[in-house]
Amino acid sequence: MGTQMKELGGNLIPGQTKNRAAGLYRLAFLMTGDRARSLAVTLDAISSADGTDSFFPSWMLAWSQRLVIAKVLAGMRDELAASARRTASLRDEKRALPSRDWIFEPDADGAEGQIENALLVIDVFPRCALLLTVFEGMSAENAAILLDVDRAVVRKARIIGLQELTRNLARIQGWTFEVSRSCLRTTELQHA
C-alpha cells in the first residue's frame, strides 16, 4: 500500500509495474473483502492505463490508485452507507485493549497475512476509513468526500478501525479479552 513507482526514461520497470498492480489489487481486496470484485476493478484500472505512448501508461499508472479507490467505493456504495450509519450510531464506550506496552510481533513471514486477517474482520466503513486515512495517508476531509459522509464520521470510524485492528492483531498473538482496569481505555473521539 502506498507504494511508489520508479521510472527509467519515462517507462516503468516491468517488475515495478507488476508490484504496482499487486499493490492495487491488495488495496482493493482489503477495502472490499471480495477477491473477484477486487481483481476486476484492478484489471479495469490497469487496462485503462495501456497505450502506445510511453508517457501515457506511466502517467495512468500513477493515477491508477485513485481509479481503483473510486471504482471500489462506487461498487460498494450501499454496503458502505449501511456500515457508515452503524458507525455513526455507535456510542462512545470503553473498549478493552491490550496493555500500553503490547507490541505487535508478527510471525517470521506472516506479518502481511496477519494484518490482512485483522483488517478483514472489521466492518467495511471503519475498515475503509482506516485504509484511506492511515494506510494511504489521505486526509479525513478527502476521505469524507470519497465516502460521502461528514468528516466527523470518518474520524470516528478511523478510531474504531484502529481499536479493532489493535484488538484483532493482539488476539492473533494470543491476547485474551479480560476486563480489568488496566485494559480498559476510554474512547476519545476528539482531535483524532
Mean pLDDT, the chain cut into blocks of 10 residues (192 residues total)? 38 66 92 95 77 55 81 95 95 76 74 91 97 95 95 96 91 69 38 39
Asked whether residue 42 falls in the same domain as residue 113, the answer is no
Cβ distance 33 to 120 under 8 Å?
yes
For the packed helices 77-89 and 151-172, what is the interaxial angle rounded to 10 degrees? 90
Q: Is residue 11 part of a domain?
A: yes
Query: Which pLDDT score, from 0 to 100, does residue 150 have?
Result: 95
Asked whether residue 89 falls in the same domain as residue 176, the answer is yes
Query: Which pLDDT score, from 0 to 100, does residue 124 have?
Result: 97
Query: Which pLDDT score, from 0 to 100, does residue 174 have?
Result: 77
User: What's the full length of the chain, in residues?
Assistant: 192
Total domains, the chain: 2
- Which DSSP helix (H) or strand (E) runs through 76? none
Asked whether residue 152 falls in the same domain as residue 63, the answer is no
Query: Which pLDDT score, from 0 to 100, does residue 178 have?
Result: 59
List the grid coordinates of 165: 485492528
Asked whether residue 63 falls in the same domain as residue 117, the answer is no
Query: Which pLDDT score, from 0 to 100, does residue 192 have?
Result: 42
Partners of 95 in beta bridges? 185
Query: Which pLDDT score, from 0 to 100, does residue 177 have?
Result: 65
Asked whether residue 171 falls in the same domain as residue 87, the answer is yes
